Amino acid sequence: MKDIKLKYFKASREESIFDEDEKYGLCFFCKTDEFPQVELDESVEIITESKEEIEIVCLDCLLKEKYAFKQIVEGGFLTKDGIVKESDKYEYLKDDSNYLTDLLPLENQLLNMDKLKIKNLTHTPPFRTWQDATWLVHCKDFMTFIGTWEHEDFVKNSPDGNAKEFFDDILDNWNGDDFYDKQFGPDKSEYAESTFYAFQCQGCKKYRGFVDNA
């Protein structure tokens, strides 16, 4: 299994949206059918100068910066028109009682993000998710996606082997009291279908992540 080793993506190629073994046709840019490729649909948008409709692109052309990906990040979106704040896309968020304390700082952090870091992230393959592939931010930089985690990964990466405590500590979104036990623990439910996306900060090495419920 091949890995992708980029600043913001250090995980198996299979964790990216690129397909390992499906040939869709010729890549729009290089006109070859080399692996890995991705067939674009409304869930993945690319940034390109081309006005033509583009269906198939390859990883190689992304790394050669022949096109870029629109990315979802904490606080907003990286688009062909630059940064779009989350509350510009979803105006109602500004009326939320937590807007000033929760979202606004993330938006400001994003607006102040170094331009080279933004360029670099748009040339990073999005990771494969059920819902939004959101890149987390830490230490004024995007965090590195390091893969999806299961129980053994929580044990291995935790400071003291306490997987559940570690999970609660680094999880960004909602979870119930026995959520970890049911969804990720060694005795998890046979119906468990949650996925945990793990990130690490390049600066301070802190881990963070979020859960996607299929």
Site string for Zn ion, 135-164 (x = CB under 5 A): ---xx-------------------------
Q: Kindly tell me which of 27 and 83 has the beta carbon lying closer to Zn ion.
A: 27
The kind and range of the H/E element at 134 are strand 134-135
- List the one residue from 4, 11, 27, 163 that touches Zn ion (CB under 5 A): 27
Reported as half-sphere exposure (CB side, CA atoms, 13 A), residue 45 has a value of 11
**Shortest Å, Cβ 90 to Zn ion:** 27
> Among 201, 208, 209, 211, which residue interacts with Zn ion (rule: CB under 5 A)?
201
Question: Is the distance from CB of 144 to CB of 127 less than 8 angstroms?
Answer: no
Of 119 and 206, CB closest to Zn ion: 206
Q: Which stretch binds Zn ion (CB under 5 A): 47-55, 104-112, 167-175, 195-203?
A: 195-203
Pairing of strands 71-73, 134-135: parallel
d(CA 202, CA 180): 26
Told to check if 26 binds Zn ion by CB under 5 A, we report: no
- State yes or no: residue 208 binds Zn ion (CB under 5 A): no
111 near Zn ion (CB under 5 A): no
Residue list 59-88, contact with Zn ion (CB under 5 A): 61
Query: Which lies closer to Zn ion via its Cβ, residue 138 or residue 151?
Result: 138
Query: What is the full DSSP assignment across 108-124?
Result: HHHHTS-HHHHHHHHTS
CA distances for 162 relative to 63, 157, 165, 176, 180, angstroms: 38, 10, 6, 18, 12
For residue 179, give the H/E element and its range.
Answer: helix 179-183
Q: Which residues bind Zn ion (CB under 5 A)?
A: 27, 29-30, 58, 61, 138-139, 201, 203-204, 206
